[in-house]
């Protein structure tokens, strides 16, 4: 049996005047997704449990069969998994942005999209510094997106603020708060001293670039532990994605990763290359997961037409060829499931339960007409909580 899971990030939406009162899924020409909705099980799924933000982290954990209320420890632990970082149970993992704070305001949460050699040099300087006896281990990621592991910190209970949500705002009200806040603030303050006179920053200041005045710690959590796909289902899986959160979940699940050249995570992603990589992977794996960030990205930019087109490209270059090959391979199932809605109107995520559909061996047709929010609601299937979807999809005998 072969299984394919397509994750069109943020594909769900609401009717839009720019699309003649249709949602992007309704307006798009997506005959392959429609055929899956028609031939199989169509419904809506609660991907974001109460109390969680409508993010790709919680949404995708749910779709991959893990209740976020049990397994979600934070965003940074997922990124640590993506980087294959081994963390100890007593450690707290933080996202550590290089940021520029000027006149007390968050001027730039990327420190001028600091380029890699500069970021690497600053990370090295931080690792060479002392932090009042705290055991701090900084790990370079990409550009401003780094990680910090703090030992003897797993019992801290902190609230923190994503720096991209407070651009141009005074940072004074947004330092981490809660149990352990003094320790974390002391680390952040000490980093200011380490960074201030570093040659990289002196040069950036001289050239008028946004320099890294501060580190901003957020998204913290203890190491995330998932049971593997193999131990749960006895299946070997692979994930194709250009996004770190999804890479982290894949690594946590013991799944392989395929990096596709040209898969950017943006609207210009190479759909054909992703489709070809998925087709190729079908020969070697039981479960092939393809995640496409483009619909989410288009909605974040408020572009209805682009979002619709990205869905059409996914249908044409990825879903269609996979369906065709699956049919030639014998027993199979295919699932289409967005992790959350991303609304073109607000340019933000929304927790409204998105549609899902799957078809294949042993799945009865409910004769849904198309893959859309409205048709999914009309089908009357409502999965709450949503993390049961994957086991229902991967265990046909049930
Ligand atoms: Zn998402």
CA 299 to centroid of ligand 1, rounded, Å: 11
Ion ligand 1 — residues with CB < 5 Å: 9-10, 56, 296, 339
Are 232 and 65 spatial neighbours (Cβ–Cβ below 8 Å)?
yes
Q: What class does CATH assign to 2-72+225-394? A: alpha beta
What secondary structure letter does DSSP report for 319? I
Mean pLDDT per 10-residue segment, the chain (398 residues): 98 98 98 96 97 94 98 95 94 97 95 94 98 96 94 96 92 96 98 97 93 97 97 97 94 96 76 96 98 94 96 98 97 98 94 97 85 96 97 82
CA 287 to ligand 1 center in whole angstroms: 21
Q: Residue ranges per domain, the chain? A: 2-72+225-394, 92-221
14-52 core/surface letters (b: 16 or more CB in 10 A; e: else): eebebbeebbbbbbbebebbbbbbbbbbbbbbbbbbeeb
Q: Given this model, what pLDDT does residue 165 score?
A: 86
Predicted local confidence at residue 147, as pLDDT: 97
For ligand 1, the distance from its centroid to the CA atom of residue 7, given in whole angstroms, is 9
CA separation for the pair 336, 45 (Å, rounded): 12
- In degrees, to the nearest 5, what angle opens at C-alpha 384 toward C-alphas 381 and 386? 95
The rounded distance, in Å, linking the Cα atoms of 264 and 81 is 20
- Distance from the CA of 184 to the center of ligand 1, in angstroms? 29
CA–centroid distance, 176 to ligand 1, in Å, is 25
- The whole-number pLDDT of residue 263 equals 73
């Amino acid at each position: 049996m072969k299984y394919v899971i397509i994750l069109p990030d943020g594909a769900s939406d609401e009717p839009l005047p720019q699309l003649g009162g249709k949602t992007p899924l309704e307006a798009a020409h997506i005959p392959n997704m429609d055929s899956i909705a028609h031939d199989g099980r169509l419904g809506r799924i609660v991907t974001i449990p109460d109390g969680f933000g409508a993010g790709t982290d919680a949404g995708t954990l749910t779709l991959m069969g893990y209740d976020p209320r049990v397994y979600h420890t934070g965003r940074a632990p997922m990124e640590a998994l993506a980087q294959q970082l081994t963390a100890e149970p007593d450690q707290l993992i933080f996202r550590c942005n290089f940021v520029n704070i000027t006149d007390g305001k968050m001027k730039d949460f990327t420190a001028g999209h600091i380029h890699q050699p500069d970021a690497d040099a600053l990370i090295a300087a931080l690792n060479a510094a002392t932090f009042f006896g705290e055991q701090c281990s900084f790990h370079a990621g990409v550009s401003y997106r780094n990680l910090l592991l703090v030992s003897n910190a797993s019992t801290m209970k902190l609230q923190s603020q994503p720096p991209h949500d407070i651009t141009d705002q005074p940072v004074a009200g947004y330092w981490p708060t809660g149990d352990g806040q003094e320790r974390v603030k002391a680390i952040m303050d000490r980093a200011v001293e380490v960074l201030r006179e570093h040659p990289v920053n002196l040069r950036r200041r001289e050239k008028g670039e946004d320099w890294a005045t501060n580190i901003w710690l957020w998204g913290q959590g203890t190491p995330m532990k998932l049971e593997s796909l193999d131990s749960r289902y006895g299946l070997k899986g692979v994930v194709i994605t250009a996004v770190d959160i999804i890479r982290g979940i894949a690594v946590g699940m013991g799944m392989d990763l395929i990096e596709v050249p040209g898969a950017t995570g943006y609207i210009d992603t190479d759909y054909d290359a992703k489709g070809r990589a998925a087709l190729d992977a079908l020969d070697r794996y039981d479960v092939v997961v393809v995640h496409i960030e483009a619909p989410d990205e288009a909605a974040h930019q408020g572009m209805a037409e682009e979002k619709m087109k990205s869905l059409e490209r996914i249908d044409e270059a990825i879903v269609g060829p996979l369906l065709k090959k699956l049919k030639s391979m014998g027993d199979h199932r295919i699932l289409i499931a967005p992790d959350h809605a991303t609304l073109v109107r607000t340019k933000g995520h929304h927790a409204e339960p998105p549609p899902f559909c799957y078809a294949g061996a042993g799945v009865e047709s409910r004769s849904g007409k198309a893959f859309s929010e409205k048709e999914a609601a009309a089908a009357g299937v409502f999965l709450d909580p949503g993390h049961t979807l994957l086991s229902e999809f991967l265990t046909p005998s049930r």
